[in-house]
Chain A
Amino acid sequence: MIFPYTPILAVDVLGSFAMIIISTISLHKARMLREKHPANMVYLYLMWISSGFTIFALSRSFGHILKQLLVLSSNGEIWHTIGPYSGTINTVSFMLVGLITLFFKQSWNINRKILSSRRALEKTHLKLVHLNQNLEQQVIERTEMLTASEHKCRRIFEQSLDTILVTDSQWKIIEINPAGIPMTGYTKEEMVTGEMHIKMLFADGREWERIQGHINAHEFILNEETAFVRPNGENLLVMITCGVDYGAFGCARTYHFIIKNINEKKMMEKQMAQAEKLAALGELSAGVAHEINNPLGIILGYTQLLLKQEPESVQTTHDDLKIIEKHVHACRNVVSDLLTFSRKNSVDDDRINMNQVVDDVVKFLINHPDLRQIETDLNLWKGRQLLVTGNEQELRQVMINLLINGGYALGKKGTITITTTENNHNQVLIAVRDNGPGISQETLEKIFNPFFTTKPVGKGTGLGLSVSYGIIANHGGDITVESSPGQGTVFTIMLPRAEENGEVE
């Protein structure tokens, strides 16, 4: 069967040329792609497959062109010789393209992993760059924050009015704030450098053991009241709170104490309790005195009437009435003292120079039997006048009571020092100090109570100091006593100061 050969020839020859040209420019494109991304495995594959196609196209196309030329020039025998070689090259080129293609999937997977790793690497690199850029800034910021925080904590530690004290696990003091120095009475070097045991601060070692036991058992102690002792032997009441810090970053365990000085608070509470007690006693005394005063007046009146009616010749009766009259007078004096102790808001508004009062009383008592052997040392304030508003007679009585009590305390020999001065609270101070045997703590607590006396029965009524207390309280002032056995006693009167622009009595 005859068919036109021209289409086959044309398609074969033109197709072969086209294959050569297109495969060559494909190889060029693949090379460009490869050059764009030398590390891209897929583009490497495309270059390989393009090479395979080019080899295939060249071998096959040249083979076909040659075959057509040889057949058409009646040299088919030559083609029969060359044909197998051309076919073999073609076969090898198919195989090559096939092999390359079969590796495409693996190439792609490898490429994907490489790209993924590269992206991760780039991301990490960017993060690193960012971190590097910001690291310095962050270090500065964190350092500033740390410094500010440390400064804040340090300020709290330094400025705290309560004592903040830190001990190590062996209870040795390793840190104490400035407030702790005056409170404890020790220097920082003694406590911190000298690794002082906290037990040394406690007045009673057993009390420390009790507190230590509580901290060990519960890891804290809260608002525990106890007594500290200063190096000079002075005791003070404190309130302790303690917690355990187990430390961070491998630091050892420490104990943090916050110690409040409650000495003054306790003293004030005591004084207030004393004042309240005396006020209550005053009210009681006033009631009793008032009830007794009237019957005493009647008894005295009738006694004096009987004395007038009874002739002095009847000696026995007259003497008995005199005894009654004498004791009624004594009772009235006691009642009068009680009323003085309890009287309120009855102070006169005379302006009194306290230096003058003290001087007069000392001169008046210089020949008193109890003070005759006693040396009196008078230190009067040389500054502006110590004026107070009140009743001069009553204030004289207070001074007399204090001096006579001092003389009694000294016995036959000793010194009473009277000092007048002023303080920063616009008060006049009068201190009466003796160098006698002092007063016990137990006695001090009762010293202003009415009818409390250490004198033998019949020697004192026990109303002197309570009357003095009442008078000073009525003048808006206060009277305190400080004493310890063997150290003498000092009574201090504090009275509100009056202005100078007025007439002095």
Chain B
Amino acid sequence: MKHASKQYTALVVTAFLGILIPDIAHATQMHSGSEGIIVHQLGHLFFLLSMVTLILTINGQGLDRERGWRLIQYSALFFILWNLDALAVHFLDNQIAAVDVKTLSVWQIQIDPANNSRALANFYYILKLDHLLCVPAIALFYRGLSKLLAGEEA
């Protein structure tokens, strides 16, 4: 209730500020090209933070004593790593255009870092293998659920 009340207060204050600080009114907001990737990045960040919350909650509630929940914690950890990976790839690729990627064939790919850094190219190449993080994450989640179910059936 308190939280809802604070939200309501913030809404009212914003409305007042809008009235008190007038500006040119745009009937429809115009969106720039980078807006999509920022929203996507925020989505990753939100996902990452929610996984951190999940780990802490499992610890806080003492659920980590059960193997099933511990596996879900590990799953959340892998999802965090995957989100970091994805954030980095999108940052380098779509936000600052630090790398230019071209698929040459089924066998080759060209990665051209803006600063011609081999290390950045290598790092980017490794980051592109993000399924090595998200597949173990979902697999651990599955194992966790299986353990919990086995515990219930026992």
Interface residues, chain A, CB within 8 Å of chain B?
1-9, 11-12, 14-16, 18-19, 22-23, 25-26, 29-30, 32-33, 36-37, 46, 50, 53, 57, 71-72, 76, 84, 87-88, 90-92, 94-95, 97-102, 104-105, 108, 112
B49-69 contacts to A, CB under 8 A, are 49-51, 53-54, 57, 60-61, 63
Nearest CB of chain B from residue A263's CB, rounded to whole Å: 86
B149 in the interface (beta carbon within 8 A): yes
A-B contact pairs, 25 of them (CB 8 A): A1-B113, A1-B118, A3-B125, A5-B109, A7-B129, A8-B129, A15-B132, A15-B135, A18-B138, A19-B131, A19-B134, A23-B138, A26-B138, A26-B141, A32-B149, A33-B145, A33-B149, A72-B103, A76-B103, A87-B40, A90-B43, A94-B47, A97-B50, A98-B43, A105-B61
Residue from A8, A33, A102 within 8 A of B109 (CB atoms): A8
Nearest CB of chain B from residue A198's CB, rounded to whole Å: 72
Most buried by B among A9, A29, A46, A105: A29
* Contacting pair B50 A102 (CB below 8 A): yes
Give CA–CA (A7, B139) in the complex, Å.
20
Residue from B105, B118, B138 within 8 A of A57 (CB atoms): B138
B4-56 contacts to A, CB under 8 A, are 36, 39-40, 43-44, 46-47, 49-51, 53-54
* Contacting pair B109 A4 (CB below 8 A): yes
Q: B interface, by DSSP: helix, strand, loop or mixed?
A: helix
* Contacting pair A95 B46 (CB below 8 A): yes
A101 with B51, Cβ < 8 A, contacts A19-B135, A37-B152 known:
yes
B104 in the interface (beta carbon within 8 A): yes
Nearest CB of chain A from residue B32's CB, rounded to whole Å: 14
Give CA–CA (A346, B120) in the complex, Å.
152
* Contacting pair B40 A105 (CB below 8 A): no
Residues from chain B with a CB closer than 8 A to the CB of A8 are: 109, 125, 128-129
A53 with B46, Cβ < 8 A, contacts A5-B106, A16-B131 known:
no
Interface residues, chain B, CB within 8 Å of chain A?
36, 39-40, 43-44, 46-47, 49-51, 53-54, 57, 60-61, 63, 103-113, 118, 121, 125, 128-129, 131-132, 134-135, 138-139, 141-142, 145-146, 148-149, 152-153
Residues from chain B with a CB closer than 8 A to the CB of A5 are: 103-109
Residues from chain B with a CB closer than 8 A to the CB of A16 are: 131
